[in-house]
Structure 1
């Protein structure tokens, strides 16, 4: 077999038969002869390619292969890669490289220090020392992505693909690597004893729980404990129904505000989240006196770097199910899901974002998956939405713009059984706009709701926090995304008022569509 054929077989055996890519000349020898059973999803910019793959990996929970060009293409993808790192998405980034004899002379399209380019973002990076090691290295990249739950990066010189495999190389096909990291019964019982002894326990839940399919189980655990629930700061997935009577909201992303929110609880159990992913620098005590924090995560790095609390590095899902087995049922009910307040109203021709989100809540099916990239409307979003299903919410995990439009493509490809809506701000839209073309080519029934307020709203809010109200570069007037979307082959409409918006949203999508709506400027709070 040729090295290329072996690589394709490795991918097939590991289920990496959907490839997201934007090819350059170095990648063509890998792509030739790609099996007909594979699905190649072309993106028009590397950032969009990674965004699509990130959404796909999160929605499937499996590794996915991303094929990028050498240094230039990989560099274009770095901003989007930050989101995949923070969402712990197992992307296997396979990058092309110049032929081996040309790398040392730094011929055009050489990636001079390929492994260093992707670091420190990726959890593992390599360039095989010889062609014969490529199949093994690719297998390792897949295992590393799955075991570490992070992107990996493999650079392969393009003359390697046509080389013949060495005798016995096919042994790599049969390799399996499994991890067993369940907590011991004694560890679960000790945690259950702590919860029984606590007078005022609270739960803080991270996006990993939704990614790993524990949404319903952790809801049952919260009800068993009758404990208030917060979502961890900087939330990228929703791990708990946001209208549940036990839900207290998303924790603020500052040290002092988190301590204030958790004050009064004697035990805080953090499941599937770092402690904590802060944003605004608002210093103070990490926890108020008398508050004990216990973190359960399978991310050893997150456990090691936490500034406060105790940590158990294990599978949070196994802990949740173990606790459900030994904690007693509670007969009392917790009440009905809360009802959102009437949305705030905009002025003039601009709707308030709350009006837009109320329209989505009222018109879209309950199992809709929302891919959200509108930072300045975050507070309005949580005040109006009612999300009760797993996999209902995706947000750029590191705050890197350009996630929303392409990630919606990845989610739609991964979950064709669910409606997908992208909620995109006009500032963010420009970073991943080419994802519209891919949505059109695959005729994906995605509804993009484009909120146009003419500014980088989150920056204006931050300017107020930082005392810098006179900075330039926050206004972005003159953008018409309906014209841009039509140019990419996407049906687009400008909703002039709330009645038209609701009527448009009530119509089923038979392909990608974009609805642009002018909105008032709001803050994330």
Structure 2
């Protein structure tokens, strides 16, 4: 006879999901019993770190990650990271143990009393199967929902006594059928709609393309490049995106749009048609009053997310798969006579700086950018330095940059570990602020335990610099809790088993990054004391 446990592992194998990210508790032990040799269990020491690692893994590999948490307390600990995963459109199946069915009604210890409510609204779907026999079908459904647009995390609550239940012949057959099913939604927009958009692009005097992270996530990078080149479209990156949707070293690339109403509209002045692909219209923070678009401009949004289409404040929208729609659009538009005015926006020339202690953020990140290999997969969670980073690190290939669009800290360290476990053939460099690092510091233990050769660079300014900038912008003086004196990142890293260095200057930092990314014998943390460079709009 086939048990529920055996059917679950067979279903996971059928989907190629053989890595489980987790932090086990007593309610998860029955699922993990006799853990199969062909599966890998990645242990995180805190549940938010577990979800963050799975987030990085799923995004780096383009697959759906499987997470196993501990009933209600574990889900509660993980919720900040689940919110980030939802904002990132990360396909993820989050499971959590549940008390045995015989004691759920009496709310025995570790009963998740309202299991399907707890993770909402961060998840697309939350479910607790009514019978043990329904677990395989529920798990299959969870994968289908996580992987269809808009992609994102889903949640299953699984009573701990379900896994030893034996399926009868009909139940086993149903489990096999569930494992075989696949759902695909990569369809192009309707022909007439794409043809109408092509005509609008051809008729526009000065159209512009704005790309978002979903272009990268949906494998539409080459399609976006082909459209921009054929029509001669200047390209801006949508603000606050977790991935890069267009090569930043391309002659048509102009930069990242500001994340505020008035300056964004001003940046797009002179364009009569704005085509946004794979991003919301638009993701703003902070509030600077102004129009969404400059006068005389129209907008069309291409997205696979119906919610993004519905809530866009202006313009028309096509809801469809990005790659097939962009490919068809490229076939239909007329070829441009020549390149658009302007050219690749390069960082302003900066005067040579004297080497100081601490070094400037510009000097530190320039050193990191110069020393990292061309095929680096970058992870960034240094909010006050992100603008400088995007100026200095020009991502020129797909699937090479991850940050979070959710706004919650704790993504960087964990996601970098998950990304490296998913893409071990690529060097992974994580630039994470000293404040941000504390939210997921236990990820360093996982990096050391699994010998993940991540290079963690910590620009340390001993403060929440981004909050100080917002304080000045919002005119809120006298806010407490914005300084972080006394953190010793190297000591913390060594305590978790990670090799650590403190860079003494840009040359030393570059040498340390070059050496770390060339090696493959485990993680290295490099603390780089810096001064603060406030961002600007």
Which category of TM-score, normalised to the shorter sequence, fits these structures? over 0.9
In 2, Cα distance between equivalents of 1:472 and 1:281: 23
- Say whether residues 1:477 and 2:485 are aligned partners: yes
Given the superposition, is the C-alpha separation of residues 503 and 146 from structure 1 closer, same or farther in structure 2, using an over 3 Å criterion? same
Cα shift at 1:154: 0.2
In 2, Cα distance between equivalents of 1:236 and 1:25: 35
Q: Report Cα offsets for 1:100-126 as digits up to 9, x if no partner.
A: 122222211111000000101100000
Within-5 A mapping of 1:339-418:
340-343=347-350, 345=353, 348-418=356-426
Residue ranges of structure 2 left out of the alignment (5+ in a row):
none
Aligned equivalent of 1:297 = 303
- Say whether residues 1:216 and 2:222 are aligned partners: yes
Aligned equivalent of 1:313 = 319
Q: TM-score, normalised by structure 2?
A: 0.94
Instruction: Name the SS for the 1:295 alignment partner.
Output: strand
2:441 equivalent among 407, 426, 433:
433
In 2, Cα distance between equivalents of 1:180 and 1:371: 27
In 2, Cα distance between equivalents of 1:343 and 1:425: 23
Cα shift at 1:299: 0.3
Which piece of structure 1 moves more, 183-192 or 310-319? 183-192
The 8 Å contact of residues 21 and 53 in structure 2, kept in 1 or not, is answered as yes
Given the superposition, is the C-alpha separation of residues 80 and 180 from structure 1 closer, same or farther in structure 2, using an over 3 Å criterion? closer
Aligned equivalent of 1:153 = 155
The 8 Å contact of residues 85 and 122 in structure 1, kept in 2 or not, is answered as yes
Residue ranges of structure 1 left out of the alignment (5+ in a row):
none
Cα shift at 1:176: 2.6
The 8 Å contact of residues 343 and 355 in structure 1, kept in 2 or not, is answered as no
In 2, Cα distance between equivalents of 1:180 and 1:246: 27
Given the superposition, is the C-alpha separation of residues 358 and 67 from structure 1 closer, same or farther in structure 2, using an over 3 Å criterion? same
Aligned equivalent of 1:71 = 72
Within-5 A mapping of 1:91-170:
91-148=92-149, 149-169=151-171, 170=173
The 8 Å contact of residues 379 and 412 in structure 2, kept in 1 or not, is answered as yes
2:462 equivalent among 445, 451, 454:
454
Cα shift at 1:237: 0.4
Q: Report Cα offsets for 1:77-106 as digits up to 9, x if no partner.
A: 111111110110011001111111222222
The 8 Å contact of residues 216 and 244 in structure 2, kept in 1 or not, is answered as yes
Q: How many equivalent residue pairs?
A: 525
The 8 Å contact of residues 243 and 339 in structure 1, kept in 2 or not, is answered as no
Cα shift at 1:178: 2.7
- Say whether residues 1:229 and 2:229 are aligned partners: no
1:509 equivalent among 493, 510, 519:
519
The 8 Å contact of residues 218 and 322 in structure 2, kept in 1 or not, is answered as no
Instruction: Name the SS for the 2:404 alignment partner.
Output: coil
Q: Report Cα offsets for 1:409-437 as digits up to 9, x if no partner.
A: 11111111211000010010000111111
- Say whether residues 1:182 and 2:212 are aligned partners: no
Given the superposition, is the C-alpha separation of residues 254 and 339 from structure 1 closer, same or farther in structure 2, using an over 3 Å criterion? closer
The 8 Å contact of residues 366 and 389 in structure 1, kept in 2 or not, is answered as no
- Say whether residues 1:524 and 2:535 are aligned partners: yes
Instruction: Name the SS for the 1:116 alignment partner.
Output: coil
1:198 equivalent among 204, 218, 224:
204
Cα shift at 1:235: 1.4
The 8 Å contact of residues 48 and 406 in structure 1, kept in 2 or not, is answered as yes
Q: Report Cα offsets for 1:244-293 as digits up to 9, x if no partner.
A: 33222211222222222222211000001111122212232222331100
In 1, Cα distance between equivalents of 2:436 and 2:313: 32
Cα shift at 1:386: 2.2
Given the superposition, is the C-alpha separation of residues 346 and 466 from structure 1 closer, same or farther in structure 2, using an over 3 Å criterion? farther
In 2, Cα distance between equivalents of 1:284 and 1:333: 30
Q: TM-score, normalised by structure 1?
A: 0.96
